């Protein structure tokens, strides 16, 4: 056990290194973060099969993913408040048990409402598992061992979305999509065991519920949940042409106004937005929003290109995505040393540069580009993600005091998720408009006055006529349809190349903010690490 002073602060000399119980707590936190981050992406590979079996249309099926994200983004900033009320162990045990229960509900679901309810429950209770893992590292490990804990946490959060599509595709093809959810049961059993061994019990402080910032909680819940739905569904519903999107946007704005009022009037606001007054912490948040936009943008654009242009299956696309996780495993032995000794600003700059370079490598896409040709850029991207994400994880809690560690972790993870949703929304608008513009431009060149276009149509029509019994009008129609498909494909290819260029430029423009980051303290007294 850790020696504590009367006020609950770690004694400076009694515990120079983390105890076995401390490391069990860190592993438990990492395992909880794993199942929460894994379940964001593991379902995506199985979505067509799930929709088919439960009778959901493509539009309805998107709520299987959106429901999870909406409830998760609400829970993440609430985790710090609930930790103070329930105690860390009670909160995590409850969340792990209920996450498992809702996972089983998803696994046995035979209709869309049951599936969506299960996903909302998964997202809500899984949302507490990621920021609390970061808090455990910050509060249970002495300063010199925090880089090791942050390495464990960072690898888990980074690899979860990469491994998820591969694992989901494999389970769907070789067993059943239901195992994407049942897989959580044995993991949760291990998680609950480790939580019981690693975390001490704290007395409930239900009195804090009376003085809670309920106005802020309501405002935050309405603002974040509606904003997430708008960002996820807006492009599909043509934005403000949709009455529901307009209504949700209005509710979101009102929610944030209520939250701002609560921040100004509450003695103990539900989320400590005043942390953004800390220049170093605010820089971390702005950087992670943009990095989240780019990361989730690539996780969207790359599978789209591989599926629609390169003709790869979901499992093959998943393998290409997982390549970017290889550098994480190769660099694992040196990551704690890197985080503990290397200058934070330099490491993040190199990471962002590698990340941006990996985007620029992919701007020369053609119709002949195959999945194998993304291996180098994915490896470079993996190096960039590791060198950027890991120090930012550490800087997010190193920039604030121990008493604010839980709130800082919640805001950090919420910012990453919102950045992802914002990036996907902006990218959706960009892709739709650029594809349309490129298709129009290419189409203007494919006219009756173009000898090349007419010879291509004639050649294709002859080929179709040879296979349809000599029906010339039908062959001509088929040739024109094929040409229209080629025009659309070329417009897609140009647009996806532009997406990688835009994402790379966004990372380059982000770099000046790195110079505002503050190096986390090294070798500080362990008592500084909090409760």
Q: How far is it, in rounded angstroms, from Cα 294 to Cα 366? A: 22
pLDDT at 242: 81
- Taking the C-alpha atoms of residue 479 and residue 443, their distance in angstroms, rounded to an integer, is 15
Dihedral angle computed from the Cα positions of residues 289, 290, 293 and 297, in that order, rounded to the nearest 10 degrees: -160
CA distance between the termini of the chain: 13
Cβ pair 287, 234 in contact under 8 A? no
Q: Would you say 151 and 96 are in contact if contact means Cβ atoms under 8 Å apart? A: no
How many residues appear in the chain? 531
Number of H helices, E strands in the chain: 19, 0
Using CA atoms, how far apart are residues 342 and 329, in angstroms rounded to an integer? 19
For residue 306, what pLDDT is reported?
Answer: 83
Distance CA 307, CA 367 (A): 12
The overall pTM is greater than 0.85: no
180: left (phi over 0), alpha (psi -120 to 50) or beta: alpha
Give the pLDDT of the chain (531 residues) as one tens digit per residue: 444 443 344 444 444 677 888 888 888 888 888 888 887 777 776 777 787 788 776 566 667 777 787 788 888 888 888 888 888 888 889 999 999 999 999 988 888 888 889 988 998 898 888 888 877 887 778 877 777 887 777 777 777 777 777 788 788 778 888 888 888 889 888 889 988 888 887 787 777 777 777 888 888 888 888 887 887 777 777 777 787 888 989 988 998 898 888 888 877 777 777 888 888 888 888 888 888 888 888 888 888 788 778 887 767 777 888 888 888 778 877 877 777 777 888 888 999 999 999 999 998 888 888 888 889 999 999 899 888 887 887 777 777 777 777 778 778 888 887 888 788 778 878 888 888 888 887 777 665 555 565 566 655 555 555 565 555 666 556 665 666 667 777 888 889 999 999 999 999 998 888 888 776 655 443 333 333
């Amino acid at each position: 056990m850790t020696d504590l002073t009367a006020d609950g602060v770690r004694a400076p000399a009694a515990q120079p290194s983390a105890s076995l119980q401390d490391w069990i707590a860190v592993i438990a936190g990492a395992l909880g973060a794993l199942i929460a981050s894994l379940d964001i992406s593991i379902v995506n590979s199985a979505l067509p099969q799930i929709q088919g079996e439960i009778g959901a249309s493509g539009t309805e099926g998107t709520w299987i993913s959106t429901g999870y994200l909406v409830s998760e983004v609400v829970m993440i900033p609430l985790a710090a408040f609930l930790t103070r009320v329930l105690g860390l162990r009670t909160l995590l045990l409850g969340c792990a048990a209920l996450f498992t229960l809702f996972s089983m509900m998803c696994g046995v679901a035979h209709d869309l409402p049951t599936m969506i309810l299960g996903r909302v429950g998964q997202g809500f209770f899984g949302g507490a598992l990621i920021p609390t893992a970061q808090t455990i590292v910050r509060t249970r490990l002495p300063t010199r061992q925090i880089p090791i804990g942050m390495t464990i946490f960072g690898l888990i959060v980074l690899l979860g979305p990469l491994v998820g599509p591969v694992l989901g595709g494999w389970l769907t093809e070789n067993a059943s999509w239901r195992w994407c959810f049942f897989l959580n049961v044995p993991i949760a059993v291990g998680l609950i065991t480790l939580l019981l061994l690693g975390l001490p019990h704290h007395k409930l402080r239900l009195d804090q519920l009376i003085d809670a910032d309920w106005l802020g909680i309501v405002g935050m819940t309405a603002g974040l949940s509606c904003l997430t739905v708008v960002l996820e569904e807006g492009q599909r519903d043509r934005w403000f042409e949709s009455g529901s999107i307009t209504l949700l946007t209005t509710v979101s704005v009102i929610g944030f106004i209520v939250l701002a009022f609560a921040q100004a009037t509450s003695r103990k606001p539900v989320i400590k937005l005043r942390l953004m007054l800390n220049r170093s912490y605010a820089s971390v948040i702005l950087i992670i929003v943009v990095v989240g936009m780019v990361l989730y943008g690539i996780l969207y654009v790359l599978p789209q290109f591989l599926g629609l242009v390169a003709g790869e299956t979901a499992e093959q696309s998943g393998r290409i995505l997982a390549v970017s996780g290889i550098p994480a495993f190769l660099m694992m032995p040196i990551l704690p040393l890197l985080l503990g000794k290397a200058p934070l600003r330099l490491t993040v700059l190199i990471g962002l540069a590698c990340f941006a370079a990996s985007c620029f490598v992919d701007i020369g896409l053609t119709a002949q580009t195959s999945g194998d040709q993304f291996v180098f850029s994915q490896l470079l991207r993996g190096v960039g993600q590791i060198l950027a994400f890991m120090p930012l994880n550490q800087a997010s809690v190193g920039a604030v005091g121990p008493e604010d560690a839980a709130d800082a972790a919640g805001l950090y993870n919420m910012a990453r998720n919102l950045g992802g949703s914002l990036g996907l929304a902006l990218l959706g608008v960009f892709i739709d408009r650029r594809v349309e513009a490129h298709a129009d431009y290419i189409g203007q060149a494919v006219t009756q006055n173009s000898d090349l276009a007419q010879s291509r149509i004639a050649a294709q029509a002859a080929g179709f006529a040879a296979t349809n019994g000599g029906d010339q009008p039908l062959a001509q129609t088929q040739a024109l349809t094929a040409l229209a498909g080629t025009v659309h494909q070329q417009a897609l290819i140009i647009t996806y190349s532009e997406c990688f260029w835009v994402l790379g430029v966004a990372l380059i423009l982000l770099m000046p903010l790195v110079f505002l980051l503050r190096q986390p303290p090294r070798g500080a007294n362990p008592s500084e690490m909090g409760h």
